[in-house]
Structure 1
């Protein structure tokens, strides 16, 4: 039995709106003991906040262990490289990941982690830039251009990371989906191999590209960013296409 590695935004929900078929799919996985985890580029929420958000949308049986975020991947990668002093642009999820991986928040940081900060502003960004100009390494948690929200899209973290790259002259590490570093950290975290997994998501350029690049089976669900007409345009090919997640229950 393979383990589903499932995207969140655009696959389980859009902002604060549940996606049809998603809850039924998760209910079936839990009922039939089908293993699954959520792999998300969204770096804003803590593990507990992720659980609570899904519970508000009606999901049952979700636990903190089900989530692996780009914040967690970024913190794990840089800690393995020997860094332990950091500053951050981001929200609770990034702060939790840094704390859990033994980082000290310092005024002389070795790394500046950049995750989506919905309260970010010109002064905050300008202050953080000084760390980069003094030699800190720029670490973007992910480079999503857009973030699905309701019936539209918000600016993604990748757009903010690009701003810091341009201002500092640095190039951020590539960590979130579709980059292989994210997948390998998740596999290490859950003690899985690529052959044991199926990646499910709505985004050809992140979810499906990650699977295609790393030879992991993929399923595109047509509930979010991309649709069938985008496949040939982008030349990114999922192994399977579904309209609703609960089609997998059959």
Structure 2
């Protein structure tokens, strides 16, 4: 039985706006062969349509909205399943708003039951302070993921996890762990896609998120050295993937 690929985006398919050419050839071949794949990403910024357009601008073809499962989707689904209340304030961008609205949440910046925190590249002190007030008044903190840093064409930028940690420190709350490498995103993705762990293979560039998620859940993994980590980091971190490639075309 052929397995379904769950593929990371940042550092695996592209770095920021810089295309990783071997990754594009790999995905195009999967489409040609009619092999099943989805993008499992901690990136909560974009809507599903924006994710398609972002990849199309780099040259990807055949990508559809249903190919994406994001940490924003996982966070909204998890909160709906596990907590009462449907009023939410959010730090984030269109992708997080879309995910919240899809799950029946109403956006409320005065009397919120939740403060969701996803990466917001236009985040301001004012936004953070408003979120803090809501959290101190009893709103529940929900971080979409705890990525420390993100791969960019010229290096790295601050990840959402660093922002979530700021709110945890300020409020003495703890966010549930949603995004990779935590089990929640995989459990919610498998439920959403009607798959089991043995049906999928995780592909990613980050040993501490993509690969560790697989290791923790006994899921087959493919580590590609195009993003955050390199081969020498495997022993340093003690996180061992099932397979290692320097270019996803090697899998073809």
Please report the TM-score for the alignment, with normalisation by the length of structure 2: 0.98
Aligned to 2:204: 201
The residue number in structure 2 matching 1:99 is: 101
Residue 105 of structure 1 deviates from its aligned partner by 1.3
The Cα shift of 1:20 comes to: 2.6
Which residue number corresponds to residue 217 of structure 1?
Answer: 220
Are 1:244 and 2:247 matched, yes or no?
yes
Partner of residue 119, structure 2: 116
Q: Secondary structure at the match of 1:65?
A: helix
Give the corresponding residue for 1:155.
Answer: 158
> What is the deviation of 1:84?
1.1
Q: Within 5 Å, which residues of 2 pair with 1:26-175?
A: 26-81=27-82, 82-106=84-108, 107-175=110-178
Aligned mates of 1:6, 1:60 — CA distance in 2: 16
Counterpart in 1 of 2:190?
A: 187
- Shift of residue 215, structure 1, vs aligned partner: 0.3
- Structure 1 partner of 2:235: 232
> How far apart, in 2, do the equivalents of 1:37 and 1:124 lie?
33
Shift of 1:161: 0.4
Distance in 2 between residues matched to 1:226 and 1:246, nearest whole Å: 18
CA distance in structure 2 between the aligned counterparts of 1:198 and 1:40, rounded to whole angstroms: 14
5+ residue gaps, structure 2: none
Cα deviations by residue, 1:143-174 (Å, 9 ceiling, x for unpaired): 00001111300100000001101111111110
Structure 1 consecutive aligned stretches of length 4 or more whose deviation exceeds 4 Å: none
Q: 1:110 Cα deviation (Å)?
A: 1.1
C-alpha distance after superposition, 1:163-203 (max 9, x if no partner):
10111111111000000000000001100000010000000
Q: Deviations over 1:211-230 (max 9, x none)?
A: 00000000000100011100
Please give the per-residue CA displacement for 1:38-97, whole angstroms capped at 9, x wherever unaligned. Answer: 000000000000000000010000000000000000000001123311110000000000
Moved more, 147-156 or 48-57: 147-156
* Cα-Cα RMSD: 0.7
Partner Cα separation in structure 2 for residue 161 and residue 176 of structure 1: 12
